Amino acid sequence: MTLDDDGAIDHVPFMPEMVELCGKRFRVSRRVVKSCYSALGSWSTMREFPDDDVVTLDGLRCDGAAHDGCQKACMIFWRETWLRKVESASVPSPVDAASCARLHARLKTSTGPNTYFCQASEFLKATRGIDRRAQLRKSVTEVQAGNCNALQMVRRLAIWFFWKVRRKLLGEFSKGRNGATPTESLNLQPGEWVEVKPLEDIRATLNEEGFNRGMYFSPDLRLFCGGRYRVGGRLDKIILDGSGKMRQLRNTVQLEGSLCGCANICLGGCSRSEVVYWREIWLRRLQAK
């Protein structure tokens, strides 16, 4: 493995959380053709890795164990040079525990007392922005790469176009009327069941741009309203994309099976499959099943 002094290749770090996965076998989930970048309180923008050599693997998310328990649960980016193509029935390669320990020891996790070093912190350095025309071309590449079929991509593009026109004509779909948005603490814990409140109740917690304390209630989340879900975990601290700063969150959880589709705000969608953040004020606790 060829890594630079920061333990990265072209600003994509091989993180300590990845070492324990060495020698194990996983199926490629998708090629990372384009990916969105967003910070709390801002709109998403689309970016790409300059080299077409990054993939994600089925179900592999960072658990934050080496980064003070960051709960962002990012899909891990894998350079192809870190992977070996194998037949599913072939014998797994042996792993040298001592080599893994040495690799783990040399990998960087911070750049200062309060600044972390990981794939999220380096995302802006590892990628470059792409304009609308390039995003459209990349949508074709998504189909060619097998990330989705042509019909699925046509649907994504139609969703983006619909919400783009609707927002221009009618304004933000989930807009509220608040200046300072309200908060509520339920102290939800993993495994508890909740019901997502009706859309009108959620709108009462939002400002005119559709945000509650910097967290956007995107139009696709309306599909969850009235549904019942189990809490997957609390979101108390996350490392911010591009900065490496740890952001403390309050009264926020993730729900099992709730992932960002992002087709409504990102042309053609993206490959990042981020966990959706839910303010507790948008949820109602249910009795244990």
The structural domains of the chain, with segments of one domain joined by +, span 8-129
**Model confidence band, residue 205 (pLDDT cutoffs 50, 70, 90):** very high
**Model confidence band, residue 12 (pLDDT cutoffs 50, 70, 90):** very high
* pTM score: 0.90
pLDDT at residue 211 in the model = 93
pLDDT at residue 148 in the model = 92
Average the pLDDT over each of 9-23, 77-91, 96-110, 200-214 and give the range with the smallest value: 77-91
User: In the beta sheet, which residues pair with residue 255?
Assistant: 231
pLDDT digits (tens, 9 = 90+) for 21-51: 999 999 999 999 999 887 665 566 889 999 8
pLDDT digits (tens, 9 = 90+) for 251-280: 999 999 888 867 777 888 888 888 999 999
pLDDT at residue 41 in the model = 53
Percent of all residues in the chain with a pLDDT value above 70, rounded to a whole number:
96
C-alpha 281: how far from its chain's center?
Answer: 22
Average the pLDDT over each of 33-47, 126-140, 155-169 and give the range with the smallest value: 33-47
Judged against a pLDDT cut of 90, whether residue 88 lies above it is answered with no
150-170 vs 132-145: helix axis angle to the nearest 10? Answer: 150
Residues 6 or more apart in contact with residue 289 via CB below 8 angstroms: 193
**From CA 203, how far away is CA 198, in angstroms rounded?**
9
Mean pLDDT of the chain: 91
**Model confidence band, residue 250 (pLDDT cutoffs 50, 70, 90):** very high
20 HSE (CA, 13 A, CB side): 9
